Amino acid sequence: MSLNNPPMHEGFVPAYQVSAAPYVTSSDVTLGQVKQFDFNYVTRFFTVKNTSTTSTNTIAVAFTELGLSAANANYFTLSGSEAFSGELRADRLFVSGTVGTSTFTIVAGLTSIPSRNFLLVTGSNGYQGVG
């Protein structure tokens, strides 16, 4: 007899109550370049730090690629040495160079929820302010 257990999804609270698995990456991005970072599992939290020592080197971070467009402007910017940390659920991040060449680091805590079970976060799916 099958129990037909439902799959874990973004609303599965116990997955956020345990310690997260670590994810760390560093990269660089030039003016106009966009880099996509896909997480295998939904994040419990993440931190993005612009590790450039020059304060004028700026990056933009968004949850959708369309959010990085000037028409939408659904992103946040980090100048050299600035960081953003948030307890946000995400399955991917997009980073773009807006001024100069910047290096950055992403640190995330991953839940046990597979990204394939995460909801589709787009403006066309009813989520305003993401792209």
The answer to whether 68 touches 98, Cβ cutoff 8 Å, is no
Runs of H (alpha helix) within the chain: 14-17
Asked whether residue 13 is domain-assigned, the answer is no
SS3 117: helix
pLDDT at 9: 86
pLDDT at 47: 98
Asked whether residue 127 is domain-assigned, the answer is no
pLDDT at 71: 85
**Run of H or E including 50:** strand 41-50
Decide if pLDDT at 4 tops 80. Answer: no
Decide if pLDDT at 1 tops 70. Answer: no
pLDDT at 103: 96
Q: State the CATH number of the domain containing residue 64.
A: 2.60.120.10
pLDDT at 120: 79
Span 30-78, pLDDT tens digits: 999 999 999 999 999 999 999 999 989 999 999 999 999 888 889 999 9
Asked whether residue 72 is domain-assigned, the answer is yes
Q: Name the more confident of 1 and 21.
A: 21
pLDDT at 2: 67
| pTM metric for this prediction | 0.90
Range of the domain at 45: 22-114
CA distance 78 to 94: 13
Buried/exposed 77-108: b ≥16 CB within 10 Å, e otherwise: ebbbebeeeeeebbbbbbbbbbbeebbbebbb
The answer to whether 113 touches 39, Cβ cutoff 8 Å, is no
pLDDT at 124: 65
SS3 16: helix
The answer to whether 39 touches 15, Cβ cutoff 8 Å, is no
Asked whether residue 2 is domain-assigned, the answer is no
Q: How many domains does the chain have?
A: 1
Name the percent of the chain lying above pLDDT 70: 92
The answer to whether 56 touches 80, Cβ cutoff 8 Å, is yes
119 — pLDDT class (breaks 50, 70, 90) = confident
